[in-house]
A and B are shown apart, each in its own frame.
Chain A
């Protein structure tokens, strides 16, 4: 086996490396525990396979078909109470564990949702989704379920609002390791005058084209050489020094 390849994999997938290591330790220590763990894992794995592909297909379609303005209108900063309730609603009719909610919220954020509303979606997804409430009523009784719901909905709206105050969208754009935010990163480099000199209606539209490689950064007349280079670096292009 190629050593470079192995160490490269380990660096890129720290979590997986750690997990494999933990399993090896357990295998040496107790093979029966090892197989029990695998059995437990396969149950979670099946749950993931039922949900993730469907969630991602829906989100892929949202990304392509739903316009930015629509998302801003529903989940954007100006959406107010209606936006909060819409977020609770989306979370309530979701399926699957919270990790399936991360990519969904991330897509919505990219499309113009506010930080507080994606936190509300995340939380509602986690604690008040409908299938969960049904199981809860079955085992804990209706009054337990109902009381928890009454307390939880205002609580998650509050959590969302506080997180939205503390964390800016710019912070997430800078710190996310997902590539999809490239458009936002490029958009931040653009001047934001929406002057239209590049032929696009807004800087954001131009950023989308630049991110996809359909357009070169120098389409923007306001950019200095330095900024153009920075943008190309963002896009992972080698900048050739003249």
Chain B
């Protein structure tokens, strides 16, 4: 567990205690809201997590190395960005992987694109996003994020 997760749990518990001390009725109401939110998302989240598990077992992130081979930085950036788009990997897996890819010869620019799309563009989480915000919102946000990821990585290429 990282520091923010612990911080978050501590925050939730202390707020809950404060709330109970202030008003039991309001606390009950908030817990009901929390329960409904959880119920509304849990089946979908579990299915998506299972799909990610399956996908990453079938196509381990290391396979990106095969594709990166001798291609130019531009192509490598696009490949990395696309790979980042379809998957969702926690940071503690993604960064060691990116670092090892850099050691293996991958360009920093393409790794920046990989990391940004990996986290911000969510092909696999799109069904949940659509459920909350609708199709057009999901489409616009994800396309803009993809474009931004490419621009960010190109910008970084100029500096690094």
Contact = CB atoms under 8 A, between A and B. Distances in A.
- The 3 residue pairs across chains A and B that have the minimum distance between CB atoms: A175-B134, A41-B53, A60-B34
Interface in B88-146: 88, 90-92, 95-96, 98-99, 102, 108, 111-112, 115-116, 119-120, 122, 125, 127-129, 131-137, 140-141, 144-145
A226 to B, nearest CB: 26
Interface string B26-64: 110111111111101111111111111110111000000
Interface residues of B, number: 82
Interface in B1-42: 1-5, 7-9, 11-12, 15-16, 19, 26-27, 29-38, 40-42
A93 to B, nearest CB: 7
Interface stretch (A151-159, A197-205, A213-221): A151-159
A176 B133 contact: yes
Interface string A153-183: 0011011001100110001101111110000
Interface string A102-137: 110111000000010001001100110111100110
B30 A178 contact: no
Contacts of B120: 98, 123, 126-127, 156
Given A139-B99, A140-B98, A159-B145, A131 B119 contact: no
Main secondary structure of the interface of B (DSSP, over half): helix
A61 B15 contact: yes
A131 B91 contact: yes
Contacts of A60: 30-35, 37
B156 interface: yes
Nearest to B154: A151
A163 B137 contact: yes
Classify chain A's interface size: 35 or more
B133 A175 contact: yes
B155 interface: yes
B48 A99 contact: yes
A2 interface: no
B160 A144 contact: yes
Interface in A24-43: 26, 33, 36-43
Contact of A51 (B5, B34, B36): B5
A20 B46 CA distance: 11
Nearest to B131: A177
A236 to B, nearest CB: 15
A58 B58 contact: no
